[in-house]
Copies of this chain bind each other. A is one copy, B any other.
Amino acid sequence: MVRVAIVGASGYTGIELIRILNQHPQAELKIITSRVQSGMRVDEYYPALRRHCDLAFEDADPDRLAQEVDLVFTALPHQAAMDFVPEVLGRGLKVVDLSADYRFQDAKVYEAWYQPHKTPELLSQSVYGLPELHREEIRASKLVGNPGCYSTSIILATAPLLSRKLIRHQSLIADSKSGVSGAGRGLSLATHFCEVSGGFKAYKVAEHRHTPEIEQELTRVAGEMVRITFTPHLVPMSRGILSTVYAELLDGANASLVTDAFRFFYRDAPFVRLCGSNVPTTLQVRGSNYCDVGWRVDERTGRVVIVSVIDNLTRGASGQSVCNMNLMCGLSEELGLGAPPWQP
């Protein structure tokens, strides 16, 4: 059994981790922390969890964590993660960090989009936790930077075609649509029911912070500097991300080669399901760790249109972090993540 803790467990990412770990046959959740909710039982805070988790939120104490657990999920805000992760890493624990703080190889890129980095020396040890791209490195790592939700959907939609050099890397445009839980459980007018329900909007056009991590990973895959235009949107639903990615086909590329590229790239991926021209809906992956991908070639314009869907809380955050835990602890990638999506 892997003994684990969740630091910063009171938000949606935290409860999703608790839900998943509750069904995991080889993980035991020992400690959950929350600065604000410290002292409260989690099943009072989330009545859904009654009979599933009898832990109470505690303050985060690195020494106690080092005694009680093997691996820590840090679900803290950017910056707060940087302060805490070294504490537990230094005490020998493995860490899956769900913030952006350990997703980047190059501290300068992080600092250009976020703020000064306090532990840039750790970046060379950390691995970007997308199993389809970095499975072996994750297995060998003690620190994983769990990918952003949008990033997961866009990189998985694009990497196979860049890898095979079927698309012009300068032509990438990602138009993504997310459910509201991606904004977290904190209060803001932007997540007020009446400001969301019945409407649809774009936000952070051409300036969302997931852009540089997408570019980092696609650049690695392509072997060339990739720049994308990325627009996130807010859908009046709780869970799910759909990314529609546009790219120009290079000369000689065609629908058949596109299909081959996807099949080959994901030949051993337990959590990617290929849909061909039946492009997927977010509902078919809700509550699961799947990324479903479909595509069509627009012969009239010479572009390929790729549609990928994930559950932003599962594959886009907590489910993927459990995948990473599995790999880091020598378990099967799929363990504890086998339940079917939620329909309807």
Contact = CB atoms under 8 A, between A and B. Distances in A.
A18 B180 CA distance: 29
A72 interface: no
A236 B198 CA distance: 8
Contacts of A39: none
Contacts of A173: 173, 246, 303
Contact of A300 (B206, B239, B301): B206
A49 to B, nearest CB: 6
A215 to B, nearest CB: 9
Copies in the complex: 4
A236 B201 CA distance: 13
B197 A192 contact: no
Interface stretch (A30-38, A133-141, A274-282, A324-332): A274-282
Contacts of A267: none
A169 B29 CA distance: 47
A229 B194 contact: no
Interface string A231-249: 1010111111010101000
A339 interface: yes
12 contacts: A19-B339, A19-B343, A46-B284, A52-B340, A173-B173, A185-B189, A185-B344, A191-B193, A197-B236, A201-B242, A235-B235, A235-B236
Interface of A: 12, 15-16, 18-19, 22-23, 46-53, 173, 175, 177, 179-181, 185, 187-189, 191-203, 205-206, 227-229, 231, 233, 235-240, 242, 244, 246, 273, 275, 277-288, 292, 296-301, 303, 305, 307, 338-344
